[in-house]
Structure 1
Amino acid sequence: MTSLPTGFAPASYWMESAPGPAYPALEPGPERSVPEVEVAVVGGGIAGICTAWELARAGRQVALIEADRLAAGATGHTTAKLSALQGLAYQDIRASRGEEAARLYAASQADAVDRVGRIAAELGIDCDLERAPAYTYAESEESLDAVRAEAEAAAAAGLDASFTTETDLPFPVAGAVRVADQAQFHPRKFLLALAGDLVARGGRIYENSRVMGLGEGHPCRLTTDRGARIRAREVVVTTAYPIFDRALLFPRLKVRRELVVAAVLPEDGAPRGMYLTPEDDTRSVRSAPYGDGRRLLIVTGEKFTPGVGSVEGRYERLISWTRRRFPGAEPAFRWAAQDNWTTDHVPYVGPLHPGARHAYVATGFAGWGMTGGVLTGRLLAGRLTGRPLPWTDLYDPRRLNPLRETPALLRLQGEVARHFFGDRISGDGADAVRDIPPGGGAVVRVGAGQRAVHRDEDGALHALSARCTHLGCLVRFDDAERTWECPCHGSRFAVDGSVLQGPAVHPLERYDDLGDGHDGPDGEGRR
């Protein structure tokens, strides 16, 4: 077992316990040296890695291009559950898409769970893979009807689902849906091994290479922030939130963040099943091997829109819930994850836009990106090699049912509009800068505009444009991670303005001072 830092670390256990090798950046060069491949995959999370690997396994020449490090974004901050039972998904899908859609969804998700086991066995990957039952449970009688309905809907969709009142949680539940033989694993151990096998099969991997532009043609052309280029017959975009506006998916995606707390428990005190309840603003529980007779209890919850409300307060609620429900749990790690929800509860995996012939996208996994990412690899590899799977059309992004989706679309766009227009008349005056504590941040009005101001631990001020470089919404400060976040589409920026998470690809503009006589703590203008 890897030696890990002691104490309560503001870091992902998956990242700390499996650092992984580094891969080179895509370097700029003359036209004659521009790499050319059959398929370029943009985004090195589970969807991108699995897609690149499946295509390489099918004999295609593949390049995988990641803006940061492989499996370090949403994939490196997951709870790492592989389950075809996904909260209350089946009654929602049946209502929005029909019985056949629910059946195909169940079959595709179950296939993804089994696919991880087959790949791990084939390649000999030690990734802490464990088979375990999955549960969606209710503690209150108010939620029990929805849980019973999910048991019926999941069974009708083809899963071996049943209603039960028995779990291995250390507290009583009113009832739960149970689906046996699901799985949990260490995602980075699995994916870093997959990346190594991708390279062994002739695939190329480029890290620290942020794709900025896509030219669709014959071939397609990609350009990066450093001016590097690559040509490809086909392009797949798996960047969580799509980075290209032409996808026409922005009005149909809702972004949410969730918090994760990981605590150490004795082996005999940790649940072996995987649990989720929609109550208490969502609570997800599972445990992972931790060595020396211990397991790591992983608790997720506090779902929220990025940039809205105190994140520290949400962490406090989640930690308090964990300690109450699991006495003796010793918090060791905390981190946050972000994902996107579609308006009809089914991810988008397929052509990037209605006119696309050689560009594809995968997004909208609604917190189930582990099975969604594995599914993406299988689905797109089948599509690009002429062997489509039975559920290919189910996930096609070009689908639109105005009757069923319009209410959700209107609610989502109403939320975005409230932030886009309402935030412009909010924000403190520039005099409020003096009230920003060390480590804190605030959006302040300067003349007719707003600036995002952070005070570091030494008291120095860091001023940025508060306008997200994606579509211009105003960012807000995350007091737990000390980042700037866009509530409209989830772009995230470091306090120096650099992009941490898209869809934005350009950094926030930096200022030397606040433009009104405010500057650093010693009266000196600073950036």
Structure 2
Amino acid sequence: MENIINKNPGENNDGSQAVSIGRDGHNESLWQKSAVKENWNGALDPSVIYDTLIVGAGITGITTALLLQKAGHKCVIAEAHNPGYGTTGGTTAHINTFADTTFAEVEKAFDKQAAKQFAESIAESVALIAANVRTYNLDCDFRWQNAYVYAETDKEVDELKDLFESALRVGVTAEIADHAPAPVPYQKAVVFDKQAQFHPLKYITGLQKQFTDLGGIVLENTRIEEIESQDDFHIAKSGERQIKAKAVVYATHIPPGGVNVLHFRNAPYRSYVIAALLNDDNYPDALVYDMQDPYHYFRTHEIDGQKYLIAGGHDHKTGHGDPQQSFTDLINYTKRCYEVKSIHSQWSAQYYVPADGLPYIGHLPGASNGIYTATGFNGNGMILGTVSAIVLSDLILKGQSTYESLFNPGRVKPIAGFMETIKENADVIGRFIGDRFGLEEIESVSEIPVGSGEIVTYKDQKLAIYKDPHGKIHALNPVCTHTKCIVNWNNSEKTWDCPCHGARFDTEGVVLTGPARADLEKVNIGPQA
């Protein structure tokens, strides 16, 4: 694989050469540039039946594993690449007591009690993050902040009023702001106190150390290909390796493998982020959000004495928009708001929007007993990943959770999310059929620019062709191995992205993110012309 592992100078604690934390794309995040990968790979005993296998080492997986290990369970984390490889390494790391799905929306789709429970779960999540930082003395740049949400138009003022009033109804502290650090003129603003920010990779690295110190095992480069369920335990297979466990948690952002109902109740999106240096010192000392759709968000993070403005926005469905245009639009918008000197980093990350607004946390629908999942975090992965760890650890340890009904992945809401599910699945069907027609036919691969990829018809074959910077051709079957949709080229991250359920592959066809488990098929196109 290319453009995935980025090496940095330095040494690990054992004197070995340090390697920065890899991610699922070409662009390197600010967090990768400032965190060093630790080597805590443990030794697996194939004869042992472990209590829990956690698949995925982002904030959801590592937090869940630590909670279980602290309670006396013997746990194994199996990560297909390295910890923080997915969305955790690409987040903007906002920690909020409110979410992208507003409490007003939860009241409408469910009821007032559901909204109150949602707020309570989020508050418990924020408290756990703060407690972990304090208890383990984590050096992760954790900082309490105020969060300001501002409205620029009459329509946005009405929406902000709903956000504000519904927050008060569920017990979240908020006030009308006399003054907000908004980067543009605004009509109204609301401030939420006791919000926070941190360095996500330093945070999960600290949790991982605590987990391994307690005897937990982390297996990197271990992609779980299938799970076979026995009467009392499950056997997870990764190549020749087998891991036996009584319970399995898929902390993979979306459950992998065959088609599952959750693949149709979650829509994959890409979110875009930049870290900029400013000409002046007008870095916001707060978390700042507008009310546009999709919205923009800003904050400041200081690393080694240097401040960075972190700006995000211009999201679109995975495999649908133009990633380079999204970056251009985000940069231009940020320049209208701040005196940007230069762009230090730019990157994107993936998240899943749930059909009815709430995450799916609990028993994986259609799976054997003891197999769990957590998905549908919208743009709130840090808080809802931690909520998931609380819920899943309770289900495994106690057999029940305060929030199990609210977040039940098998819940059926005839109204909430129904139309959204229909819309997203119609889009999937449209992409499945439409992307098979009208492909550009080329006479020669020389027509493809160096460093770029295209879906084309070449010599009567539909191919995903990438021409690397050295002019070498990498040809793949463009049919996603999950549900057979046609992948699209992401020219910013240098990946092949599936527009149906969000599976992503590198230029060699290797799976970067699920739900696909199998790589894209390589195609030999013979002499290149």
Q: Normalising by the residue count of structure 2, what TM-score does the alignment of the two structures yield? A: 0.91
CA contact (8 A) 1:263 1:330 kept: yes
The structure 2 residue matched to 1:223, chosen from 237, 248, 253, is 237
CA contact (8 A) 1:61 1:203 kept: yes
Give the aligned partner of residue 493 of structure 2: 481
**How far apart, CA to CA, are the structure 2 residues paired with 1:364 and 1:170?**
30
Give the aligned partner of residue 450 of structure 2: 438
Range that drifts further, 408-417 or 237-246: 237-246
**How far apart, CA to CA, are the structure 2 residues paired with 1:25 and 1:462?**
35
Tell me how far 1:498 sits from its aligned partner.
Answer: 1.0
CA contact (8 A) 1:25 1:208 kept: no
**How far apart, CA to CA, are the structure 2 residues paired with 1:342 and 1:230?**
31
1:49 and 2:66 correspond: no
Give the aligned partner of residue 522 of structure 2: 510
**How far apart, CA to CA, are the structure 2 residues paired with 1:496 and 1:173?**
47
Compared CA separation, residues 468 and 476, structure 1 to 2 (3 A): same
**How far apart, CA to CA, are the structure 2 residues paired with 1:18 and 1:227?**
32
1:373 and 2:390 correspond: no
RMSD of aligned alpha carbons: 2.2
CA contact (8 A) 1:216 1:358 kept: no
Tell me how far 1:35 sits from its aligned partner.
Answer: 4.2
Q: Which runs of 5+ in 1 are unaligned?
A: none
Compared CA separation, residues 322 and 264, structure 1 to 2 (3 A): same
Tell me how far 1:149 sits from its aligned partner.
Answer: 1.1
**How far apart, CA to CA, are the structure 1 residues paired with 2:42 and 2:451?**
32
CA contact (8 A) 2:101 2:357 kept: no
Q: Residue type matched to 1:45 in 2? A: G
Tell me how far 1:190 sits from its aligned partner.
Answer: 1.1
**How far apart, CA to CA, are the structure 2 residues paired with 1:185 and 1:483?**
28
Range that drifts further, 397-406 or 42-51: 397-406
1:18 and 2:35 correspond: yes
The structure 2 residue matched to 1:59, chosen from 52, 72, 81, is 72
Residues 374-523 of structure 1 mapped to structure 2, 5 A cutoff: 374-386=386-398, 388-431=400-443, 433-446=445-458, 449-513=461-525, 519-520=527-528, 523=529
Tell me how far 1:343 sits from its aligned partner.
Answer: 0.7
Higher share of residues assigned helix: 1
Tell me how far 1:139 sits from its aligned partner.
Answer: 2.0
Compared CA separation, residues 103 and 267, structure 1 to 2 (3 A): farther
**How far apart, CA to CA, are the structure 1 residues paired with 2:316 and 2:360?**
22
Give the aligned partner of residue 302 of structure 1: 314
Range that drifts further, 238-247 or 475-484: 238-247
Q: Residue type matched to 1:102 in 2? A: A
1:323 and 2:352 correspond: no
**How far apart, CA to CA, are the structure 1 residues paired with 2:518 and 2:124?**
38
Q: Residue type matched to 1:223 in 2? A: K
Tell me how far 1:195 sits from its aligned partner.
Answer: 0.5
The structure 1 residue matched to 2:139, chosen from 126, 131, 134, is 126
Deviations 1:185-237 (A, max 9, x none): 0111111111011011111110000001012232111001x221100011111
Deviations 1:143-200 (A, max 9, x none): 2111111111111121012333621233322223321111100111111111011011
CA contact (8 A) 1:440 1:456 kept: yes
The structure 2 residue matched to 1:244, chosen from 257, 266, 285, is 257
SS in 2 for 1:296: strand
Give the aligned partner of residue 283 of structure 1: 296
Compared CA separation, residues 267 and 48, structure 1 to 2 (3 A): farther
The structure 2 residue matched to 1:97, chosen from 110, 118, 140, is 110
**How far apart, CA to CA, are the structure 2 residues paired with 1:25 and 1:425?**
48
**How far apart, CA to CA, are the structure 2 residues paired with 1:124 and 1:253?**
36
The structure 2 residue matched to 1:261, chosen from 267, 271, 274, is 274
Tell me the matched-pair count: 507
Deviations 1:86-127 (A, max 9, x none): 245222211111111110001110111111111111111111
**How far apart, CA to CA, are the structure 2 residues paired with 1:489 and 1:387?**
31
Range that drifts further, 14-23 or 123-132: 14-23
Q: Percent identity of the aligned residues?
A: 29
**How far apart, CA to CA, are the structure 2 residues paired with 1:459 and 1:341?**
38
SS in 1 for 2:225: strand
Give the aligned partner of residue 180 of structure 1: 193
Tell me how far 1:392 sits from its aligned partner.
Answer: 2.6
CA contact (8 A) 2:148 2:181 kept: no
Q: Normalising by the residue count of structure 1, what TM-score does the alignment of the two structures yield? A: 0.91
**How far apart, CA to CA, are the structure 2 residues paired with 1:73 and 1:377?**
17
Q: Residue type matched to 1:418 in 2? A: G
CA contact (8 A) 1:489 1:503 kept: yes
**How far apart, CA to CA, are the structure 2 residues paired with 1:122 and 1:268?**
34
Compared CA separation, residues 88 and 66, structure 1 to 2 (3 A): closer
Q: Residue type matched to 1:37 in 2? A: Y
Tell me how far 1:258 sits from its aligned partner.
Answer: 0.7
